[in-house]
Amino acid sequence: MNGVAVTGGSAWRGAPLLMGVIGLAWLLAIGAELTGQVAWVHHHRLLVDGVAVWASLALFLVAWQVHIAAMMLPSTLPMVGLFNRASAGQRYPGLARIGFLGGYLAVWTLFGLVALVGGALLERVTLHWHWLLHHPEWLAGGVLVLAGAFQFSSLKERCLDKCRQPRAFLLNHYRQGMAGGFALGARHGLFCLGCCWALMLVMFVVGIANLAWMAPLAALMLVEKVARHGRRIVRPTGAALMLLGLLVVMDPAWLPSLIPTAAPMHAH
């Protein structure tokens, strides 16, 4: 594998700086919740209250990076730790590591933008489909059912297998240099996206900074990927999400955050 050596030991200890970033991201999320400022980083505020488009988009991108750091980076720490040790023998290991994280974040940033644009287009649809405008629980419930159903898919399982075996993944795809690190990070990010996109889509229904949903979903994705028996909770969680989705369709009270965070943008 191009001369790389991946040794034993705890991969989690290989990324202390990244663990600090994750901790800071959670502190920011908790601080926003406690100070009542959390609404400003929900994507639902885009294009409302007279905020300039580019300013609100920039705010979303910043909030999204914090969101990814808090929710997704914990489950990729084993891979980061292994890559840090493997790249130590390179001429410029720091650049390779920056490239790896850049590739990983690029995948998730692109997903965030696509989901944001999709949400904006859906808002436009509701302008002409008033029934959906007055029944947002059908959209929220549908996303929950979709997320639950995806837990049973073969794609979910295949992508999770890649995430659960960081050592094998690194041995098969490692390349040196910043470009090689970026390619590896992007490839890893794609598999991470492949197993978690549906769960992350839920956040676009309840609001990306909704701490009540961030914490359990982040814990779920972490356990699925790194816990010894993580695969045992995948399908039961899927069934629970589908049931919750059906309950939300029947009664929006099952998703209390639906109404306040999903206020239509065009109402302003």
Q: Are 115 and 61 in contact (CB under 8 A)?
A: no
User: Which pTM was predicted?
Assistant: 0.85
What is the distance between the alpha carbons of residues 153 and 156, in angstroms, rounded to a whole number?
5
Q: Exposed, middle or buried by CB within 10 Å (0-12, 13-18, 19+), for 113?
A: middle
Q: What is the pLDDT along the chain (268 residues), one digit of tens a residue?
A: 554 544 444 444 556 788 888 999 999 888 877 887 666 666 555 545 445 567 777 778 888 998 899 999 999 999 999 999 999 888 899 999 999 999 999 999 999 999 888 887 887 787 777 777 778 888 889 999 999 999 999 999 999 999 999 999 999 999 999 999 999 999 999 999 999 999 999 988 887 778 889 999 999 999 999 988 888 999 999 999 999 999 999 988 877 664 443 343 333 3
What is the distance between the alpha carbons of residues 100 and 182, in angstroms, rounded to a whole number?
4
